[in-house]
Structure 1
Amino acid sequence: MDYTDKVEDTFFESMNGKYIRALITAEDWDTVRNAAYDSTSTPSAVIGRVEAGVESFVDPNATPDGRPGAICQYWFGLDNLEKFEVELSYRIRQDILVKPFTKMFNVTNNPEGYIEMMRNVGHCGDGFEWEINEYNREMINVPIAVPDFQIESKFGYADGIMGGNYWYFCETKEAVLEAGKLIMDEIMDVPGVIAPFGVCSAASKPETNYPWIGPTSNHPYCPSLKNKLGEESKVPNGVNYIPEIVLNSVNQKQLNLAIKNSVDAILEVPGVLRISAGNFGGKLGDNTTNLLDILK
C-alpha cells in the first residue's frame, strides 16, 4: 500500500512510564464493564496522577475465578512508586471495590517489582481484613456490606511507553465517528496496548499562558481558529476536525502494531483526508518514532 498520499512523513514523541496490568472480575458483564471503565476514566498523567485504559475483555474460561473479566492498565509517568501506589488505590477503592462481587488480580508479565495492596486498599476493612490463599494466589479479603471484595496482595509493575500518538484529519463529523470506532476496535485487538483518551478531541501543547493548568490547547490545529490565526494556523483547507489517538503500550513492538492496524483500517473511510502525528521537535518525549516507518 502507498501511504504517502494520505500519511505525512513525520514522527511522534513518546515517554517512558510505569504500568500495572490488572484483571477485574465480577458476577456479570455489566458490573465488569462498569468497574473497568470507571476505574480507567479521567486520564491524568499530565497532572501527576494515574492514566489508565481497558486493554481487553476476558471470557470466564480464561480468568482465575471462572467469571467475566477485563484487563486494565494503570500508568504513572513520575518516578515515584509511593505516589503511584496512592494514586492507584484511589481508582481501586472508589471504582472497583464498591462494585458488587468484584475481585482484582495481578496480570503484569515480567514485573520489575511489586506494589503492596494492604496499606492503601486492604485496610479499607478497618483492621478486620484478612489474607487467604485462593486461586493459587495470595489474596486480601476486605469485608464489605455486600460480601466481600478480594484483591491480590501485590501487583507487579513494569516499564512501558506512554503517549504514542497520531492524528486523523477529517472533513465531516461522520468521518470522525466512523473512523474512531474502527480505530478503537483495532487497538483492543492488540494485546498490551490501551488508548487512555479514546478518540481525543483536544490535542495539547506544553507551552501555555496558564501554567497552573498544565498543557493547553494546541491552537494552530484548532479548526475554529483558522481564520483568526491566518498564516499561523496549521489546519489544511477542507479539514474541519482533527481527532488525536493516544496510545500506551507495554513495548514498542505492540505500540507500532496497534498504530499500523488502526491506521490501515481508516485510510479508505470517506472524509478522512490525512494522517499525521503530534510532536514538539523531539524536545518533549523520551523517544521519537517515524510514522511512515511503522506503516511500511
Structure 2
Amino acid sequence: MIDKSLIDDTFAECFSGKYIRALITAEDEETLKQAAYDSTSTPGAVIGRIEGGVESFIDGNKTPDGRIGAIVQYWFGLDDMEKYEVELSYRIRQDVLVKPFTRMFNYTNVSNKIDSINMMKQVGHCGDGYEWIENNYGREMINVPIAVPDFQIENELYYGEGIMGANFWYMCKSKEAVLEAGKLAIDAIMEVEGAIAPFGICSAASKVETNYPWIGPTTNHPYCPSLKKDIGNISKVPDSVNYIPEIVINGIDMDVAKLAMKKSIEAVLDSDYSDDIVKISAGNFNGSLGEYNLNLLDIF
C-alpha cells in the first residue's frame, strides 16, 4: 500500500492534442532502438513542434512483417494539420528512413481515428519520383528506393485525439531516488498500452510567465532547490528536498493517462528509494493553461 499522505491534494493541468501511433520494424534491436528513440526525441509541443515518445517494444509475432518492432507516438498540440504533416515528416525522413532496413506502419486503431495523413507528399517523394506503391504485409505501402534498399512506409497514418501534459513531481532527498525511482516510473508507463513519457525523467519544471518570451516557458523558480536561500518566502521547496524531477505523460485518452499516472506514482512510492521521496505533487498553472485538471488523489 502506498502512503497517500505523501500525495499533494493538487492537480496536473492537461490539454488535448492529436497523436499518431506508428510501428517501426527493423532487422536488429540496435537499429530499431536508434530509429525509435531518435525519431521521438526532443519534445517540442511548447514551441509548436512534434512531441514524441516510445510506447513499447514488441516481438515479431505481433508485427505485420514478422520482425521486432517499436510502437511510437508523435503528438501535436496545434490545429495546423499542414504543419503537423511537415513536422512529422522531419522525424521520419531524418531518423527512420535513414536507418538500414527499417519500415513504418500505421498503429492507430481505426476506432480512434479522426482522419489520416498521406505519407506520399512529404516522405514518399524522397524517392525523387521513382517511388511506387505496392501491397505488402496486408498493407498499402509506399516503397522509397534508397541506397540500402528500400524504405517502406504505410501510405496512410491515422491520427486520433488524446491527452497531453499529465504529470507529477516526485520530490527527493537523493540523486539515487531521482534516477532509480524515475526509471521504475518510466517502466510502469511503458506497460500501459497507449501511454508515453515524452521527456523521460525531466529535470526542468517550467512556468508560463517569463522574462524572456522569445524562449518560451522558463524555469519554475519557486521549485528550484538551488534558489531556495536566495528567494526566501517565494520558494516552495519543502524542507529536506534537494531535487524535484517531473514525469510527463501523454495518453490516447483520459483513462489511459490516469492509469499511467497511477502506475508510475505507485512505482515511485513502492521503490527501494521510497524513504527518500518526501512528497508527490504536480505542475499546474492554476487552471489557466490546460483544458483538463487531473487531481492526483482522484486517480487512486
Per the alignment, residue 62 of structure 2 pairs with 62
Letter in 1 for 2:64: P
Q: Which amino acid aligns with 1:227?
A: K
Q: Of 260, 265, 279, which aligns to 1:274?
A: 279
Structure 1 segments, 4+ long, off by >3 Å, are 1-4
CA shift digits 1:100-158 (9 cap, x unpaired): 00000001012110100000000000000000011111100000000000000010000
- Partner residue in 1 for 2:168: 166
Does the CA-based 8 Å contact 2:106-2:157 persist in structure 1? yes
Query: Is contact 2:2-2:266 (8 Å) kept?
Result: no
**What residue number does 2:199 align with?**
197
2:220 to 218, 221, 236: 218
Q: Deviations over 1:74-117 (max 9, x none)?
A: 00000011110000000000000000000000010121101000
The alignment yields a C-alpha RMSD, in angstroms, of 0.8
The answer on 1:46 being equivalent to 2:46 is yes
The one-letter code sitting in structure 2 at the alignment partner of 1:171 is: K
The equivalent residue for 2:123 is: 121
1: distance between equivalents of 2:292 and 2:183?
28
Tell me how far apart the structure 1 counterparts of residues 119 and 241 of structure 2 sit (CA, whole Å).
48
Q: Offset of 1:188 from its aligned partner?
A: 0.3
Contact 1:23 1:105 in 2 (8 A): yes
Aligned counterpart, 1:76? 76
Distance 1:224 1:196 in 2: 25
Instruction: Please name the residue that 1:228 is paired with.
Output: 230
Task: Give me the whole-angstrom Cα distance separating, in 1, the residues matched to 2:225 and 2:293.
Answer: 26
Q: Distance in 1 between matches of 2:25 and 2:198?
A: 20
User: What is the distance in 2 between the residues matched to 1:10 and 1:292?
Assistant: 8
Matched residue type, 2:235 = S
Runs of 5+ unmatched residues, structure 1: none
What are the Cα deviations for residues 26-66 of structure 1, in whole angstroms up to 9, with x where unaligned?
00111110000000000001001000000000101110000
State the Cα distance separating 1:254 from its structure 2 match: 1.0
Tell me how far 1:181 sits from its aligned partner.
Answer: 1.0
- Normalising by structure 1, what TM-score? 0.98
Instruction: State the Cα deviation string for residues 154-212 of structure 1 (Å, max 9, x = none).
Output: 10000000000000000000111110111011000000000000000000001000000
- 1: CA distance between counterparts of 2:2 and 2:64? 45
- 2:101–2:148: 8 Å Cα contact kept in structure 1? yes
Measure, in 1, the Cα distance between the counterparts of 2:8 and 2:198. Answer: 24
- Aligned equivalents of 1:238 and 1:50: distance in 2? 37
Q: How does 1:278-289 map to 2 (within 5 A)?
A: 278-289=283-294
Is 1:149 the counterpart of 2:151? The answer is: yes
Q: Distance in 2 between matches of 1:84 and 1:29?
A: 29
Inter-partner Cα distance in structure 1 for 2:4 and 2:135: 56
Q: Deviation at 1:2?
A: 6.1
2:290 counterpart of 1:290? no
Instruction: Give the C-alpha shift of residue 236 in structure 1.
Output: 0.5
- Amino acid in the other structure paired with 1:128: Y
Contact 1:132 1:140 in 2 (8 A): yes
3-state SS, counterpart of residue 5 of structure 1: helix
Matched letter for residue 155 of structure 1: L
Q: Distance in 2 between matches of 1:241 and 1:224?
A: 9
1:27 equivalent in alignment to 2:16? no
TM-score (norm 2): 0.97
1:244 to 246, 252, 261: 246
Q: Of 131, 137, 141, which residue of structure 2 is paired with 1:135?
A: 137
> Percent identity of the aligned residues?
67
Shift of residue 225, structure 1, vs aligned partner: 0.2
Aligned residues: 295
Q: Secondary structure in 2 aligned to 1:285?
A: coil
Q: Which residue of 1 aligns with 2:188?
A: 186
Gaps of at least 5 residues in structure 2 are none
Query: Is the 8 Å Cα contact of residues 3 and 292 (structure 1) preserved in structure 2?
Result: no
- Measured after TM superposition, the shift of residue 229 of structure 1 is 0.5
